[in-house]
Amino acid sequence: MKVERVELRRIGLPLVGVFRTSFGVERDRDILLVRVEAGGVEGWGECVALPRPVYSSEYLDGAVEVIRRFLLPAVRSLPQHRAHAVEPVFAKVKGHPMAKAALQTALLDAELRAAGTSFAGYLGGVREAVPAGVSVGIMDSIGELLDAVDGFVEQGYQRIKLKIEPGWDVEPVRAVRERFGDILLQVDANTAYTLADARHLARLDPFDLLLLEQPLPEDDLRGHAELARRVRTPICLDESITSAKSAADAIAMGATSVVNIKPGRVGGYLEARRVHDVCAAHGVPVWCGGMLESGIGRAANVALAALPNFTLPGDTSASDRYYARDVTEPFVLENGQVRVPDGPGIGVLPDPDVLAEVTTSVIRL
Ligand code: OSB
Ligand code: MG
């Protein structure tokens, strides 16, 4: 299979509500979709880099530049444009996992569409639907937070994740626990704390949280290992896990006892499966993280979440949690679950009319 054409398409999608984290506020999403044409089929991938380098060092304009100048020429230098074959040439380009993941996913989608195989089937999925959790942003008041959580619990979400930061942690957690009782509840700090906050973070211990996600900076594995000895809540790493190797290191050091897998963060779905496997081998449960994806990225994430060691609900929410109108058929919540697409490739395509309406620019390569 050879890539004939590549399209880098930027789309603008307004979020149904603002999403605030310790690193900033998202309102209108600026998303890069990669479309390839190869061997008479198309393939799609979504780049999860944010417009600004505030979650990780990647950012959207940088991803476009890396794809067009370095990654696509590397693909074109190969005799076969297969998803697994790009890994050694992508490895020569340092960093930029989200750009790599987007292009590799488009290639893999084309390859699997041509073969008539679904993403879930190819990756080794064992579930037809996956339990859905929801990530709830930082709010202006506890009342506003309780109303938001109430809405999600009513809709059937199986687990609630609260974004926290210094000044918005123990009290919102206490309020949600008191109001909603025995729900599955966890928190995500997106690196907002330091080890000096260990005693403060231990104040979350009484609330029986499933996990405390990425309290410390990305490169501080030793700090997370030390924090894990000082708090009862299990530590889960997100930003720190950039590969299967880093997952193995973090587990060996005692820095993490649960892992959030985001395919973009680790360079694609093949590496994401390796992270899954390494965690499974160590008895470490995983769940699928999210980056506010459109239906394109969501379809592939939901397929990944069908693998056996995804034993915790992921940030794989329904489309309407994010967008009034998604670019694909919307993913919907059915009994707190999202169905895994079973068509070839990622199993969904963007609606051409919606796509045309939301497109802000197209680069053809
Ligand atoms: O840390 O999990 C995170 C969104 C953007 C960047 C980082 C994160 C998030 C989320 C939202 O928590 C998850 C979702 O897509 O629902
Ligand atoms: Mg996170």
Task: Give me the tens of pLDDT residue by residue for the chain, a chain 365 residues long.
Answer: 899 999 999 999 999 999 999 999 999 999 999 999 998 999 999 999 999 999 999 999 999 999 999 999 999 999 999 999 999 999 999 999 999 999 999 999 999 999 999 999 999 999 999 999 999 999 999 999 999 999 999 999 999 999 999 999 999 999 999 999 999 999 999 999 999 999 999 999 999 999 999 999 999 999 999 999 999 999 999 999 999 999 999 999 999 999 999 999 999 999 999 999 999 999 999 999 999 999 999 999 999 999 999 999 999 999 999 999 999 999 999 999 999 999 999 999 999 999 999 999 999 99
* Whether residue 65 sits in one domain with residue 184: no
pLDDT tens column, 191-208:
999 999 999 999 999 999
C-alpha 81 – ligand 1 centre gap (Å): 31
In a domain, 105, yes or no: yes
Q: Does residue 234 form part of some domain?
A: yes
Q: Which two tokens stand for residue 32?
A: 């890069």
Say whether both 239 and 331 belong to one domain.
yes
DSSP secondary structure string, 98-158? HHHHHHHHHHHHHHHHHHT-BHHHHHT---SEEEBEEEE---SSHHHHHHHHHHHHHHT-S
Q: Is 345 left (phi over 0), alpha (psi -120 to 50) or beta?
A: left
Q: Are residues 106 and 209 in the same domain?
A: no
Whether residues 313 and 170 fall in one domain:
yes
Distance 318 CA to ligand 2 centre (A): 18
Please name the residue whose Cα sits nearest to atom 8 of ligand 1: 291
Q: What is the pLDDT of residues 352-363, one digit of tens each?
A: 999 999 999 999
Does residue 344 lie in a domain region?
no
Does 150 share its domain with 83?
no
Pair (268, 283) in one structural domain = yes
Which residue CA neighbors atom 13 of ligand 1 most closely? 290
Helix (H, G, I), strand (E, B) or coil at 319: helix
Residue whose CA is at the smallest distance from ligand 1 atom 1: 190
Q: Does residue 294's CB lie within 6 angstroms of at least one atom of ligand 1?
A: no
Structure confidence by residue, pLDDT tens digits, 11-28: 999 999 999 999 999 999
Q: Pinpoint the alpha helices (H) of the chain.
A: 60-66, 72-76, 86-91, 97-115, 119-123, 142-155, 170-180, 198-201, 221-230, 244-253, 263-266, 269-281, 295-304, 352-358
- In angstroms, the CA 342 to CA 216 distance is 38
Q: Are residues 240 and 166 in the same domain?
A: yes
**Pair 126, 256 in one domain:** yes
Q: What is the CATH number of the domain that holds 243?
A: 3.20.20.120
The CATH number that applies at residue 100 is 3.30.390.10
Distance 363 CA to ligand 2 centre (A): 31
Entry pTM: 0.97
Residue 225 lies in a domain: yes
To test the ligand 1 pocket, which listed residue (291, 317, 326, 333) has its Cβ within 8 A of the most ligand atoms? 291
Domain match, 129 and 112 both: no
Q: Which residues, 6 or more positions from 165, have their beta carbon under 8 angstroms from its beta carbon? A: 21, 22, 138, 189, 190, 192
Please state, for a pLDDT cut of 70, what percent of the chain lies above it: 100
What is the Rg, in whole angstroms, of the alpha carbon atoms belonging to the chain? 20
Q: Are residues 91 and 214 in the same domain?
A: no
| 300 and 200 both lie in a single domain | yes
> Is residue 256 one of the residues assigned to a domain?
yes
Neighbours of 4 (CB within 10 A): 11
Q: Which two structure tokens, joined as six digits, stand for 172?
A: 């919102």
For the chain, how many structural domains are there in total? Answer: 2
Closest approach atom of ligand 1 to CA 321: 16
Expressed as residue numbers, the domain containing 50 is 3-116+349-364
